[in-house]
Chains A and B, each alone.
Chain A
Amino acid sequence: MSAALQAGAFDVERIRQDFPILTRTVHGKKLVFLDSAASAQKPRAVIDAMAHCMEAQYANVHRGLHFMSERTSEAYEAVRDKVAGLINAASRDEIVFTRNGTESINLVAHSFGRALLKAGDAVVVSEMEHHANLVPWQMLRDAHGVELRIVKITDSGEVDFASLEAQFADGKVKLLAITHMSNVLGSYTPAERLCAFAHARGAKILLDGAQAIVHRRVDVQVIGADFYVFSGHKLYGPTGIGVLYARREILEDMPPFLGGGDMINSVSYTHSSWARPPHRFEAGTPAIIETIGLGAAIDYVEAIGFDAIAAHERALTEHALNMLADVPGLSVLGRAQDRGGVISFVMQDIHAHDIATLLDRQGIAVRAGHHCAEPLMGRLGVSSTARASFGVYTTRAEIDALKSGLLRVQQVFR
């Protein structure tokens, strides 16, 4: 039983005991891991679930008529129920397993985009998208003749609804594809309002939940999302497993993305017919072990509880913003009202890469660069930023260490 599951109240020190990697040292210093937004560390429960699968209960799924295959298929399909529960999907058949959030968006762009959008229709994304929610739509535009439009953000890092109105004005927009939480600015977008906005104008909406799913409870039915995507590895699960949620009637109308085994109903030399969703979209042997790892990760975060996680991260973010405000010459990018534990910053006369390298020498891991959001960097007038991001295991002491670390970086550059 993991430590976190035993405690009623949120106890970060007990949670840290669940993550073996956090005892590691880096360059002889205690690891201060502030890069969870890129990929989170894994709790023992996830590591054990995956090892158990390989050691005790493994075979290919949906195929064998033998014990191991049947048990593994059950374990694999049980995770579909867990994911449906996590985001409150109306049906388990609305959950498609993919490789990661990027693949989920590519699946929608390729299948929904080519079959259900036509030349002349428009897709809208925002200025603060990860490349994963921009490049697939550019590819769709170039291959299929849909128009790609960009909705502006305000200087505080929030969706500019006046710009959104303008983009929708001619009635051509059929899909709004937008982040639920910026991986650079930490801003949440008002998902419910955006869904209502798109639906009132006859458009569907895809929310990129890669960041948001980690930090707060997501209910796709309350939000009203048509598509919701995320990856397992940011949610304390393994790499190689992602999720596409789509409303059942939309999935029913979508053709397959990849062809092969597992996604068919029947196959002859001349013709094949497709399985029903979700299997229609899961060609080939899936990431069985990783999916089971994702199931363990969902159990883990559900046991802690999203209310507790959100409260912990809200307190940390507030503390971090206060601490960083004390560092001379440091500017935090974005001042959204509704924001989570992802903070990008720049420092006067010190490049983000130099910041990251000098922090790393102190054992502090932050990300530096354009964060796969190059156009947003241009919009913000910077070429790169440093980013600190938090998880369930992040402590106030680590944020204090970040502040001291940054002051030391400044000494090198003085």
Chain B
Amino acid sequence: MSEEMTQLYQELIMARARSPHFAGRPAAFEHHAQGENPVCGDQVEVFVGNAQVRHESRGCAILLASADLMAEAVAGKTAAEVSELHAAFEQMVETGQTNPALGDLNALAGLWEYRSRIRCATLPWAALAQALGA
């Protein structure tokens, strides 16, 4: 396997795409919003409630992993903190520069080289921002 091929599709991303930890519609939630990528029809729906985020995603490995890592990263955070994290995440995938504040989300840093795929990773964040009324 060439290193280039596994650079983006690394173990953490593949694991979360296969077996997400935060997938599924919760019985009760306060906010929710849907995001869709018109290029491929991929969809994500995020649910916010009880200081945690869950998601229902249909899409590629990058979208699935990004939604799940996002849900993990934002647990217990305020809307303002989520917004800060969102901005830092977008900057990281655009530039490829990892950021200690982003923790496991840095696994997606390789995306900056795949310009047409950045949208796959940012879609869950856009949906979450919408759900939080940002």
A369 contacts B14, C-beta separation under 8 Å: no
Chain A interface size, under 10 / 10 to 19 / 20 to 34 / 35 or more: 20 to 34
A361 to B41, CA, bound (A): 23
User: Which residue on chain B has the smallest CB distance to residue A360?
Assistant: B114
A395 to B40, CA, bound (A): 29
- Contact A361/B4 with A368-B40, A374-B41, A383-B42 known, Cβ cut-off 8 Å: yes
Contact partners of A350 in chain B: CB under 8 A:
61
Whole-angstrom distance between the Cβ of A4 and the nearest chain B Cβ: 33
Q: Does A387 contact B (CB under 8 A)?
A: no
Query: Across the A-B interface, how many residue pairs have beta carbons closer than 8 Å?
Result: 57
Interface residues of A in 352-385 (CB under 8 A from B): 352-354, 357-358, 361-362, 368-370, 374, 377, 383-384
The proximity string for B residues 50-66 relative to A, scoring 1 for CB distances below 8 Å and 0 otherwise, is: 00000000111110000
B5 contacts A383, C-beta separation under 8 Å: no
- Contact A27/B41 with A354-B62, A413-B14 known, Cβ cut-off 8 Å: no
B40 contacts A412, C-beta separation under 8 Å: no
A172 to B114, CA, bound (A): 50
Contact partners of A352 in chain B: CB under 8 A:
40, 60
Whole-angstrom distance between the Cβ of B65 and the nearest chain A Cβ: 11
A353 contacts B40, C-beta separation under 8 Å: yes
Contact partners of B40 in chain A: CB under 8 A:
352-353, 368-370, 383-384
Contact partners of B61 in chain A: CB under 8 A:
350-351, 354, 413
Contact partners of A411 in chain B: CB under 8 A:
1
A412 contacts B60, C-beta separation under 8 Å: no
Highest count of chain B CB atoms <10 Å: which of A353, A369, A374, A412:
A353
Q: Which of B5, B9, B59 contacts A362 (CB 8 A)?
A: B5
A354 contacts B42, C-beta separation under 8 Å: no
A413 to B13, CA, bound (A): 10
Highest count of chain A CB atoms <10 Å: which of B1, B2, B8, B58:
B2
Whole-angstrom distance between the Cβ of B60 and the nearest chain A Cβ: 4
A374 to B42, CA, bound (A): 12
A408 to B14, CA, bound (A): 15
Known A353-B60, A353-B117; 9 more pairs at CB < 8 Å: A351-B59, A351-B60, A353-B42, A354-B61, A383-B42, A383-B59, A408-B1, A408-B5, A412-B1
